[in-house]
Amino acid sequence: MPTNMLQTYTVIGMKEEVDDKIYRVSPEETPFVSMIGRRSVDSVTPEWLRESLRTPAANAKVEGLDATYAAQTQPERLSNKCQIISDTLSVTGTADRVAKYGRDKETARLKAKKMVELKKDIEWASLDNGAFVAGDASTARQMRGLYGWVATNNELGVAGSPAAPVIATNTAPVAGTLRALTEAVFKSLILKVYNSGGKAEVFMVKPTHKQIVSAFTGNVTRFNDVSSKAVRLQTSFSVYGHDFGETKIVPNRVMGQGTTVTNAGLANTGYLIDPEQIELGVLRPFQSQQLAKVGDAENHLILTECTLIVKEEKALGAYRDITATGA
C-alpha cells in the first residue's frame, strides 16, 4: 500500500448521506371509529330515544268485542357526554426555518402526526370507557365507551363477581375472573344478539384474540387455490359463518395496546358490532388553533370534541373477561 494515500477516514468536509424522508411503521388504523357513522351534535350532552316491541303473544278476539286499552310505554331517553381530546405543540422560529431532512417545517409535520395520534385516542376512549363523567370546573368530561354501553347481550366470566353495565344509573361494568376465548361461548353470544334483533356483523378483538378465533372449527377450509400451480396454506379466516349469517372478524391494534384489567374494555373484551347502530357524535371536528405567541415560538392546540352515540345497544354484544392471550 502506498504511503500518504488519502482515504475516506481522513477526508475533511465529506458530505453526509441522509435519506430525505421520515419513515414510520407505528400502527395508525382505527377500525372501530372508521366503520361507524358520523353525526354533528350541538351540545355537550347529546340525547336520543329508543323503544322496543312487546313480546309476541296469542291474539284472537271475538266479533263485536268492546275495546280495552293496554298501558302504553314511552320511549327511553339516552345520552352521553362529549369528551375533549387534544394535544399541543410549541416550535421555535429557528426550528421551523433551518433546513432539515425529511420535512420542510416542524410545525406542519407535528400537526399531521398529532392528528393521527388523537384519532387513536378517540378509538381508545370510544371502546374502553365504562361510564361517562359529567365533568365540572376541575374535572374533564368523559364519554361512555362501548365497554359501558353493552348491557343486554353479554358473556361474563364464570367466576369472581362480574356484572354488566347499568345504563340508567351510569354504572360501569365489573370485571370477573378471566377465562379463555372459546367457540362455544362465542356462538352463545351470537345467539343472544340474534334473539335481541341484532345482526352480529362484526366481531372486533385485539390481534392475539383474532388468532384464537382463527383456530375455531368453523374454519374448515384451510387450502385455497391461488393459481393453477400454487396452493396456499390458509391458517386464518376473516368471516365466520354461523346459523344466523356471517360475522366479519376484525383485529384492532389499539385494543392490543390496552393493559389487562386496567383497560378491560380493550384488552379483555371482544365486541359483536352492528355499525349501523353506532355513530360518532362530533361537537367540534379536528382543528388546529394558534395560541398566543410567547417569545420566539409558535404555539398550537390540536383538538376535537366528540362522543359515542349508541342508538340501540340490544343490537350489540360483548364477550367479556377474556384472558390476555385468549387461551
Q: How much is the pLDDT for 295? A: 87
165 and 159 Cβ atoms separated by less than 8 Å: no
Phi-psi label, residue 301: left if phi above 0, alpha if psi -120 to 50, beta otherwise: beta
Over residues 30-52, the pLDDT tens digits come to 999 999 999 999 999 999 999 98
Asked if residue 325 is part of any domain, the answer here is no
Over residues 292-323, the pLDDT tens digits come to 988 888 899 999 999 999 999 999 999 999 99
Q: How much is the pLDDT for 28? A: 79
Asked if residue 55 is part of any domain, the answer here is no
* Cβ atoms within 10 Å of 131's Cβ, excluding its own: 20
Asked if residue 54 is part of any domain, the answer here is no
Asked if residue 21 is part of any domain, the answer here is no
Query: Where is 109: in which H helix or E strand?
Result: helix 106-128
| DSSP H helix total and E strand total for the chain | 8, 14
Q: How much is the pLDDT for 7? A: 67
Q: How many domains does the chain have?
A: 1
Question: pTM for this one?
Answer: 0.86
Average pLDDT over residues 137-143: 96
Asked if residue 57 is part of any domain, the answer here is no
User: Which of the four pLDDT bands, split at 50, 70 and 90, describes residue 200?
Assistant: very high
Q: How much is the pLDDT for 3? A: 73
Asked if residue 64 is part of any domain, the answer here is no
Domain extent, residue 230, equals: 31-49+76-319
Asked if residue 168 is part of any domain, the answer here is yes
- Please give the Cα distance from 78 to 309 (Å, whole number): 9
Q: Cell numbers 375455531 correspond to what residue?
A: 216
Q: Lowest mean pLDDT of 73-87, 105-119, 141-155, 185-199, name the range.
A: 105-119
Asked if residue 140 is part of any domain, the answer here is yes
The three cell numbers of residue 95 are: 426550528
The three cell numbers of residue 170 are: 351510569
